[in-house]
Amino acid sequence: MSFGNVNVVLVHGAWADGSSWSKVIDRLSQLNVRAIAAPLPLTSLNDDVAALDRVLERIEGPVVLVGHAYAGAVIGSTRSPNVEALVYVAALAPAEGETVGDVFYRGTTHPQAPQLAPDRHGWIWLPQDAFARAFAQHATPDELAVLSAVQRPISVSCIGEAVGRPLWQDRPSWFLVAAQDRMIDPDTQRFTASRMKAHVRSLEVDHTPIVTAPDAVTEVIVEALRSVSAR
């Protein structure tokens, strides 16, 4: 299987870092696909987009850009000309003028979802027990231990900044709806995927399938890769 010179850039969400993509990176590597995990500071949406753009500037050739959860807002806000397709994984995809918070709080809150509030420094941390209850309820104890150990807080600034015209209005997109998501309402995911006119795959996975269902995530990315490499 060959995808030419198409690259994949993977963008982590809140309470995670690039290591959350390790299983997907391994599977893409087996397909001879070059994958890069872009690090985000999670200090503001503008800062995160700037960090992503610095990664994209270093890449030659077309890019399939993949975002998990909060990172959906980040990948939709880049203007990098080498991005040919977008893949959203259990993600938030604000439309023009919306904030991350607008989309996140649009739907019904799952009864096991954590109560989130910033600390006195303006950082939002995920409570320890929320990893097993809501963030990745299908994860193994070892996976949960790693997710909890590497968690990075997200600044409250990230969720309050309105986005401009999102890139999904100008590029083809794919959306993996996590039907057992306890963090982002699956109905919200379906709504946003529909208005994006994305290629939708709805699967019985939790909020973090990049860890708990990496084969399924890789399959969606490969669909996008096939589309880009065929042009």
Confidence (pLDDT) at 108: 87
Confidence (pLDDT) at 199: 98
Confidence (pLDDT) at 1: 62
CA distance 37 to 22: 9
Confidence (pLDDT) at 6: 92
Confidence (pLDDT) at 66: 98
Burial of 53 (0-12, 13-18, 19+ CB in 10 A): middle
Confidence (pLDDT) at 3: 83
Confidence (pLDDT) at 118: 94
CA torsion sign, 145 to 146 to 149 to 151? negative
Confidence (pLDDT) at 195: 97
CATH 3.40.50.920 for domain 7-229, yes or no, is no
CA distance 140 to 40: 26
Q: What is the mean pLDDT of each run of 10 residues along the chain (231 residues)?
A: 86 97 97 96 98 97 97 97 97 97 91 94 96 98 97 96 97 98 97 98 98 98 93 73
Are residues 154 and 145 in contact, defined by beta-carbon separation less than 8 angstroms? no
